Structure 1
Amino acid sequence: MGIIAAERLTLWPLTVQDADEMAEVLSGEELYAFIGGAPPTPQELRARYARLEARRSPDGRQEWLNWIIRRDTDRRAVGYVQATVADEGRRAEVAWVVGTTWQGHGYASEAAAALAGWLRARGVARMEAHIHPDHHASMAVAGRMGLVPTDHVEDGERLWAWEAGA
């Protein structure tokens, strides 16, 4: 896992040191309308990021890959992307979040597309994302990265997927 370059952004591997800055990025209540929960405190993020820095689930069956999205102009964090890679590296569950202040600039689409390209280059044959049916912005991001909606719905979220050769 390394740094991923995009046109206007760079994806940097997440570290515990990112927690304070990311608490600010993730502080907008509106972010949680579709995903639930509430803005995390810096302390909560530090604990979470410490677990994620292991880059593996406790049972070793999944890779936990997380990047902070930073603008190239000022290195400011605007959000994150993540991939939970399973099935011996063949399948990845992906997600993205961009802070409310930075939404509407194409950062989520650019970062998610860069992540998708990185995953494809590393041999991932299937990417999946679960998206709330009213979250039109996330549906647009998923479509731009090549995912298409499926008929599968879990916990009220539609599964979007991309499969190599499909």
Structure 2
Amino acid sequence: MGVRSTCDAQVTSWPRAEALRTDRLSLEPLAVRHAREMVTALAPRDLYRFTGGEPPTSDELEARYRRQARGQSQDGRAGWLNWIIRPAGGGLAIGFVQATLTRRGVELVADLAWLVTVSEQGRGLAGEATLAVAAWLPSIGVRRLQAYVHQDHAVSARVAERLGLAPTSTLVDGEMLWEAITVL
């Protein structure tokens, strides 16, 4: 199903994100236009306590979203699905969920990440949004979910548990790999 690129790398056609809804949330497939409002959602420095880094500027976020909206890595070996989270009734963006797709043999694997802005935390929104994505992923053939969670980030560990993920012994840059075979 792959095609050859000009640099002779194997390229796969990856699925595209679809709009998703929960009772409280709307998840919109990422577009470059989301950068302006996400600059505000990503501005609180507390968001970077476990991941490091700095809040992005508008220009940095637009460039990042332009790359991510392509839906795959430059070499085509990873698919990128990204959603912007907002309240179901409308309003400003409050975070994101992303799933990076790769193949492990014949198995399609989704590496999940999530973030909800500081002012909206503590209401279960990250778990609700990520669970909606995890429930949708098997429809495109994903059979394994995983996430890297900082060892000290108890809230993200609870989101991972809610997804049915379990911690493994794999540790990368202070983040533990959590994984599960999907049974959704």
TM-score over 0.5 for the alignment? Answer: yes
Q: In structure 2, how many angstroms separate the alpha carbons of the residues matched to 1:112 and 1:89?
A: 21
Aligned partners of 2:115 and 2:182: how far apart in 1? 25
User: Which residue of 79, 82, 91 corresponds with 1:63?
Assistant: 79
1:1-166 equivalences in 2 (<5 Å)? 1-87=17-103, 90-164=108-182
Q: 1:34-91 CA deviation, whole Å, 9 max, x = no partner?
A: 0110101111100100111100111111111100001012332110000000106610
Moved more, 99-108 or 120-129: 120-129
> Normalising to structure 1: TM-score of the pair?
0.95
Query: Normalized against structure 2, the TM-score is what?
Result: 0.86
How far apart, CA to CA, are the structure 1 residues paired with 2:120 and 2:107? 32
* Pairwise CA distance, 1:2: 1.1
For residue 59 of structure 2, give the secondary structure of its aligned residue in structure 1.
Answer: helix
Distance in structure 1 (CA, Å) of the matches to 2:123 and 2:90: 15
Opposite residue 85 of structure 1, the aligned amino acid is L
Secondary structure, counterpart of 2:142 in structure 1: coil
SS of the residue 2:61 aligns to: helix
Q: Residue 132 of structure 1 contacts residue 157 of structure 1 at CA under 8 Å; is this kept in 2?
A: yes
The CA RMSD over aligned residues, in Å, is: 1.2
Structure 1 residue runs of 5 or longer lacking an equivalent are none
Whole-angstrom distance in 2 between the partners of 1:98 and 1:33:
13
Question: 1:8 and 1:158 mapped to 2: Cα distance?
Answer: 29
Unmatched tracts of structure 2, length 5 or more: 1-16
State the alpha-carbon separation in 2 of the partners of residues 119 and 131 from structure 1.
20
Question: Which residue type is aligned with residue 53 of structure 1?
Answer: A
How far apart, in 1, do the equivalents of 2:107 and 2:122 lie?
32
Contact 1:7 1:110 in 2 (8 A): no
| Percent identity over paired residues | 45
Q: Secondary structure at the match of 2:52?
A: coil
* Counterparts of 1:75 and 1:41, CA distance in 2: 21
- Contact kept in structure 2, 1:83 and 1:93, CA below 8 Å: yes
